[in-house]
Structure 1
């Protein structure tokens, strides 16, 4: 019997956070359920996009934070 999988199950599967048994069940379900397969493909696209997002702040943002920090330091030294 194929069980019903939630969006959370598919996300866990996309991030390799499922057990071998769950992997097998999900893979069988993906072969039999075109809606589930479509949802998983959407999740995979979103995951791929998230993985390509810049992981560090821009130099402008870093400079703004440093300048703000320096201004606080100057105020506390008065």
Structure 2
């Protein structure tokens, strides 16, 4: 019996959150199911794009967060 893999299974696989056994089964399915392979490749591309778009917050954003924190005594902030 062939296991049907969901979109969530592929996302877990892309982010290395699957077990060794799941990896083996997914890789086997990718080798024979072109539609699944295309989904996997698209997820890989999206992950790469997301990883590349990670940025640091602007100085203005950091200062806004710190001011908010000071105004509400949420967290001690040193001046």
The TM-score range, normalised by the shorter chain, is: 0.7 to 0.9
Equivalent-residue separation in structure 1 for 2:19 and 2:66 (angstroms): 45
> Is residue 2:22 matched to residue 1:22?
yes
Question: Deviation string for 1:13-48 (max 9, x for gaps)?
Answer: 001111111101000100100000000111111111
For structure 1, list consecutive stretches of 5 or more residues without a partner in the other structure: 74-78
Counterpart-to-counterpart distance in 2, 1:21 and 1:54:
32
Q: TM-score, normalised by structure 1?
A: 0.77
Q: Using structure 2 for the length normalisation, give the TM-score.
A: 0.76
Q: By how many angstroms is 1:59 displaced?
A: 1.4
1:76 aligns with none
CA distance in 1: counterparts of 2:65 and 2:4, whole angstroms: 47
Q: Matched residues in 1 for 2:66 and 2:41: separation?
A: 41
Residue 9 (1) aligns with residue 35 (2): no
RCO greater where, 1 or 2, for CA within 8 Å and sep 6 or more?
1
Which structure has greater helix proportion?
Answer: 1
Structure 2 segments unaligned to the other structure (5+ residues): 73-79
Q: How does 1:1-78 map to 2 (within 5 A)?
A: 1-68=1-68, 72=71
